Structure 1
Amino acid sequence: MNRDELVAFLDDYLQVSAYPDKSSNGLQVEGKEEVKRVAFAVDATLKTIERAAKGKADMLVVHHGMIWGGLSYVTGIHYKRLKALLESGLNLYVAHLPLDAHPEVGNNVGLLRLLDLEPKGSFGDYRGLSIGFWGEFGESQPIEKVAQIIAEKLDATVKTYEFGKREIKTVGAVSGAGAFTLEEAWRRGIDLLITGEFGHADYLTAMDLPQSVLVAGHYKTETLGVKALMELLREKLGLEVFFIDEPTGL
């Protein structure tokens, strides 16, 4: 498939221009003109770039790219990563917030679907746009059961902070560093916030609100989007695809 046609498809499907994002979304680094094989990963690291090239990929699609609002200098790690991309001819395509927020293949709708929930509405305001979703169980579920399902389906270490409700009816999902939505969850009466990271200040905020939280890891909660997009490109466009797993444990 022609690279520019694939980029146009991804830009349109993911609506990359709609989000006020620190990430430079879309085609960050141009490579080969023809794309037959596409690698997917959460992060554009030297290791994932090298593994994509070794796997004979023509494009690497990631959630976290190299360029966040522009590069001031091409030195150090930026030089190493860019050199590896250019020498291999890999195209680097990035979808950060657009892949969190997508209603079909996004990380956050994916987190709800691990619990067999479909979104009932948007959630997680970021600069005036919602990037997450919330859903509702038919009957309240113990927080321990919810945590067990997420841990098993994500193959992740999960931690719960049971400051609010322990019987869960409504769930909000914002992957990665989504703890900025704690107060929104509390204001909207969402019983449980599922996210990826939880820091010292987040703990104190959740405790004081109070708001129950389930934390499943930044990396793990953001594997869902790239995997779902990978399957879409396989089924819809007939491209060869593969996933590169480089977990951070965080």
Structure 2
Amino acid sequence: MALLSNICQFLDKELKVFGIPDASQNGLQVEGKQEVKKVVFAVDASLDTFEEAHKRKADMVIVHHGLFWDKPQPLTGILYQRLQVLFKHQISLYAAHLPVDIHPLIGHNAQLMNFFVTKKRETFGNYHGIDIGFLGILHREITLSAVVTKLEESLNTKCQVLAFGREKIKTIAVVSGGAAELAAEAVDKKVDLFITGESKLSSYYIAKEGKINVIFAGHYATETLGMQALSIVINEQFGVECEFVDLPTGL
């Protein structure tokens, strides 16, 4: 058992949730039981997630996409239905958006880059003045088809591929989720392959005219990795039961 306040303090500090500008209102979004015996981790703060958390007897849910963003929202409709489950069962909700993208060890993008053996790694993907992804130079070249196979098998996903660059890949840039617009930065930095989650029409022509490869591996799929890594950290730090709930969207 651990105190909710101690878990939140640890997350706030480890993820630097209040030092990273973000549209998400990161941190503790809903307060429930003060004593936490089990934590469920998920990508999205959906009704399915909360109902699954209750079934699994969780006291706390930690997600990447939380309930509260830029502006205040009326507690009606779908948002009200989601909150009802949390309030009824006294389940706490903690959200960490960009902080889990950015984290150099347990973040989505660090975990994605760990699929490949790199001899050099640097930050990549400027988003409102902050780099949220990574660019890596591989220890040895790998084929584009081998990268696709690796991603599909590791993430249980189906990739969309824009094969407009070299078949042999030496440099890879990764930004999880919805970052198709950063293909332009990949072109500028002469990257062989840019990996992100969600596709966008304009990125097709950027990739084609810039002569680079782009893989869309799924918004959801590319943002499972950081949550799974974070679950291990919380388990080791506090000794509470931790479980990742996989609710794929196919998107």
* TM-score, normalised relative to structure 1: 0.96
Q: For this pair of structures, how many residues does the alignment match? A: 250
Which residue identity lines up with residue 73 of structure 1 in the other structure? P
Greater shift after overlay, 218-227 or 150-159?
150-159
Deviations 1:134-153 (Å, cap 9, x if unpaired)? 11212221111111111111
Match of 1:29 in 2: 30
Which residue identity lines up with residue 7 of structure 1 in the other structure? C
Q: Does 1:192 align with 2:171?
A: no
SS of the aligned residue for 1:23 comes to coil
Greater shift after overlay, 87-96 or 109-118?
109-118
Tell me how far apart the structure 2 counterparts of residues 88 and 202 of structure 1 sit (CA, whole Å): 44
1:90 to 1:119, Cα distance in 2 relative to 1, 3 A: farther
Match of 1:47 in 2: 48
1:59 to 1:44, Cα distance in 2 relative to 1, 3 A: same
Note the C-alpha offset of 1:119.
Answer: 6.0
Tell me how far apart the structure 1 counterparts of residues 14 and 228 of structure 2 sit (CA, whole Å): 15
Note the C-alpha offset of 1:183.
Answer: 1.1
1:118 to 1:9, Cα distance in 2 relative to 1, 3 A: farther
1:205 to 1:231, Cα distance in 2 relative to 1, 3 A: same
Q: Does 1:97 align with 2:98?
A: yes
Match of 1:79 in 2: 80
Is this contact kept in 1: 2:117–2:139, CA < 8 A? no
Is this contact kept in 2: 1:119–1:133, CA < 8 A? no
Q: How does 1:155-170 map to 2 (within 5 A)?
A: 155-170=156-171
Deviations 1:108-163 (Å, cap 9, x if unpaired)? 01111122447611001111111101112122211111111111111211122111
Match of 1:16 in 2: 17
In structure 1, the gaps of 5 or more residues are none
Match of 2:155 in 1: 154
Note the C-alpha offset of 1:94.
Answer: 0.4
Q: How does 1:217-236 map to 2 (within 5 A)?
A: 217-236=218-237
Which residue identity lines up with residue 70 of structure 2 in the other structure? G
Tell me how far apart the structure 2 counterparts of residues 206 and 16 of structure 1 sit (CA, whole Å): 33
Tell me how far apart the structure 2 counterparts of residues 23 and 37 of structure 1 sit (CA, whole Å): 24
Q: After the TM superposition, which parts of structure 1 deviate over 3 Å for at least 4 consecutive aligned residues?
A: 116-119
Tell me how far apart the structure 2 counterparts of residues 137 and 183 of structure 1 sit (CA, whole Å): 21
* TM-score, normalised relative to structure 2: 0.96
Q: Does 1:106 align with 2:77?
A: no
Is this contact kept in 1: 2:155–2:222, CA < 8 A? yes
Report the identity percentage.
44
Match of 2:202 in 1: 201
In structure 2, the gaps of 5 or more residues are none
Match of 1:60 in 2: 61
1:57 to 1:126, Cα distance in 2 relative to 1, 3 A: same
